[in-house]
Amino acid sequence: MTHGTEGRVAPGERRSPGLAALFDALAADGRHSILDLGAASGAHLRVLGAFARQVRFASLLVGAGRDDAWDDALRALPPNSARPYDVVLAWDVLDRLDADGRSALVARLADVTAPGARLYAITAGEGAAGAGGLAFTLLGRDRVAERPAAVMGVPTRPLLPAQMERVLMPFAVVSAFVLRSGAREYLAMKRP
């Protein structure tokens, strides 16, 4: 990662107040069980390793073009046999699903997470770049790199904060951030 002398973030990288809020709330003791809905990444493992006993990657948006890809991916969302997940990272997935798909995803996440589990989600906002999809690389506790990527699902209309409150139930939004790009980050906790 390249930073200028004034602490600026390199092109394609940005600060993430949502991720900072998530990691500030977690103990860096390696005890958490994390489900990352994105593709497997060594960069993600380097950051998550300080927090996680186990990290599973679901690659939910891989398989664009297959009609049954979403149903297959959702059914294959891995339960954690040792203990339910207490952290979920949802990268640009909720606004790529229709209402039924979002309901199915959140219901499945509710099944595989523990009470009090934290959910980080990023969604496109009005005028947000990346309508074709973005791939995210976790660079640090408060930094992420974004690059255009072909992903499954056509973006729906941007989800507004009040809609996200309803979409994420039984997770309750505890923090929300609007980024310069127009994207929105949410941190939610699962109600007991």
Residue 9 included in any domain: no
Q: Which of the residue ranges 111-115, 126-130, 137-141, 163-167 would you say has the lowest mean pLDDT?
A: 126-130
- Kindly give the pairing relationship between strand 32-36 and strand 52-57: parallel
Residue 3 lies in a domain: no
Average the pLDDT over 1-12 and give the result. Answer: 46
Total domains in the chain come to 1
The pLDDT score that the predictor gives to residue 53 is 85
Does any domain span residue 7? no
d(CA 66, CA 62): 10
Neighbouring C-beta atoms of residue 14, cutoff 10 Å? 18
SS3 33: strand
pLDDT tens for 137-170 read 899 999 999 887 665 555 567 788 899 999 999 9
**Percentage of the chain surpassing pLDDT 90?**
39
Dump pLDDT digits (tens) for 20-57: 999 999 987 788 999 998 888 899 999 998 898 888 88
Q: If you compute the radius of gyration of the chain from its CA atoms, what whole number of angstroms results?
A: 16
Q: 138: domain CATH number?
A: 3.40.50.150
User: Which residue segment(s) compose the domain that 40 sits in?
Assistant: 14-190
Higher-confidence position of 135 and 18: 18
pTM, full prediction: 0.84
